[in-house]
């Protein structure tokens, strides 16, 4: 019983420290790669467009003062802002569940490894339970997540 209590306290403290440290991890980032994951056929069929999601993300990041490199021009040494949208439709088609995830990956270093490796330094996601899905609702969730990222980015770069 003591071990499970210890584990719970350790987990809460470690995740709290990680959550509080996210803005600090974004300090000094000026240029980012932008990547939007491919959408499922069902999302595309229901009107969600990868190009619109990518444009929305790139414009918001540029407006905040970041230089963005689209997927075709990615540089492996730069942080990557990645957007992933997934959806599940109820079998009889009455409800749609979507998850919109935004993450920032960067190269990190560890004394035990020979070189850098990619790790998530910031992430948030939004779960939506919808009657029907449309592009505007997915973009609305994306903008909310981008706003959270930019708020943490501004906090980490305020000095």
For the chain, which residues make up each domain, given as ranges? 2-156
Strand positions, DSSP E, the chain: 31-36, 67-69, 80-89, 96-108, 117-130
Query: Which has more pLDDT, 3 or 121?
Result: 121
Report the chain's mean pLDDT, rounded to a whole number: 81
Chain segment 120-141, per-residue pLDDT in tens = 889 999 998 888 777 888 999 9
Torsions phi, psi for 50 (to 5 deg): -60, -40
State the Cα torsion 27-32-77-35 to the nearest 10°.
Answer: 130
- Say how far apart CA 142 and CA 159 lie, in whole Å: 27
Statement: residue 9 has pLDDT above 90: no
Task: Supply the pLDDT for residue 20.
Answer: 43
- Say how far apart CA 77 and CA 111 lie, in whole Å: 19
Q: How many residues does the chain have?
A: 159
Name the CATH architecture for the domain at 2-156: 2-Layer Sandwich (3.30)
Name the least confident of 55-59, 66-70, 128-132.
Answer: 128-132
Chain segment 15-45, per-residue pLDDT in tens = 444 444 456 677 778 889 999 999 999 889 8
Structure tokens given for 101? 């995830």
Instruction: Give 94's DSSP letter.
Output: S
Beta pairing, strands 67-69 & 80-89: unpaired
Q: Read off the pTM.
A: 0.78
């Amino acid at each position: 019983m003591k071990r499970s209590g210890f584990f719970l306290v350790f987990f809460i403290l470690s995740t709290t420290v990680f959550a509080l440290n996210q803005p600090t991890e974004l300090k000094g980032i000026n240029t980012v790669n932008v990547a939007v994951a491919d959408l499922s056929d069902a999302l595309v069929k229901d009107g969600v467009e990868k190009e619109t999601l990518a444009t929305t993300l790139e414009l918001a990041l540029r407006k905040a003062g970041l230089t963005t490199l689209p997927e075709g021009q990615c540089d492996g040494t730069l942080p990557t802002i990645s957007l992933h949208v997934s959806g599940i439709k109820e079998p009889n088609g009455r409800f749609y569940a979507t998850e919109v995830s935004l993450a920032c990956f960067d190269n990190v270093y560890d004394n035990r490894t020979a070189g850098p490796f990619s790790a998530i330094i910031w992430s948030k996601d939004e779960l939506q339970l919808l009657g029907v899905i449309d592009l505007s609702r997915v973009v609305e969730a994306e903008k909310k997540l981008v706003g959270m990222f930019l708020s943490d980015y501004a906090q980490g770069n305020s000095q």
